[in-house]
Amino acid sequence: MRDIAVYGSWKEFAQVISDINKAAGREEWRIVAIADDDPKLWGKDWHGVPFVESWKWLEANKGKLAAHCCIGRTEIRKKICEKLAALGYDLPNIISPSATVSHLAKMGRGNLVCANVQIHPDVAIGDCNMFNVGTHVAHDVRVGSYCNVNSHVNLVEKCQVGDGAYLGAGCTVIKGAKIGAKAVVGANALVNRDIPAGETWVGVPAMQMKRRA
């Protein structure tokens, strides 16, 4: 059994941990703390797992356990994961037993892969991404680091997703399209062309969302 602390949206993470333990028939992972910046939560618990004062507790326990960050905002998750790594925390990939991940796919560290995700051969994935329930990642797709890929996203073959991108639930990125770094794609959007870095695109087909004056 390995101990692990989670920083951020712990419920999705806890479900995957529970599924792993249930499939194994034993407690392979034990969540020992939920690190949070909200002082109102410190000293409370969620189903027996205590909320702790984030960095004070994490610095005191470095070298003792693994850690994972599940914050949805990609730029914040990047900063937290980098700080956890600097403290020497192991950032393991946490993969649901109901996910299908090809042995021919390459994946960095610190990724969360939720239930019923499919990751096909020759996919390349960076670090600290979140793949939510039912996402499909076809062959030869490239995903950078610190991305948030929400439920039932469909990444068609040979598309590319840049670092820190946010893909809303149910969106589809067609074959060969490129999503720039820190771009945002709205829920259920159909991306049929490249999206520049930092832009927000929504709709079917997806178009850039203009800011109001």
> Which pLDDT score, from 0 to 100, does residue 213 have?
44
If we measure between CA atoms, which residue out of 50, 49, 67 comes closest to residue 58?
67
What one-character-per-residue DSSP string does 189-201 give? -EE-S-B-TT-EE
Between CA 5 and CA 69 the distance in angstroms is: 9
pLDDT on residue 211: 61
* Tens-binned pLDDT, residue by residue, of the chain (213 aa): 999 999 988 899 999 999 999 999 999 999 999 999 999 999 999 999 999 999 999 999 998 999 999 998 999 999 999 999 999 999 999 999 999 999 999 999 999 999 999 999 999 999 999 999 999 999 999 999 999 999 999 999 999 999 999 999 999 999 999 999 999 999 999 999 999 999 999 999 999 987 644
Residue 134, pLDDT score: 98
* Domains of the chain as residue ranges with CATH: 2-86 (3.40.50.720), 93-202 (2.160.10.10)
In which order are the strands placed within the sheet that holds 45-46?
45-46, 49-53, 29-36, 2-7, 66-69
DSSP 3-state of 199: coil
CA-nearest of 24, 15, 33 to 130 is 15
- Residue 121, preceding bond cis, omega within 30 degrees? no
Q: What pLDDT score does 8 carry?
A: 86
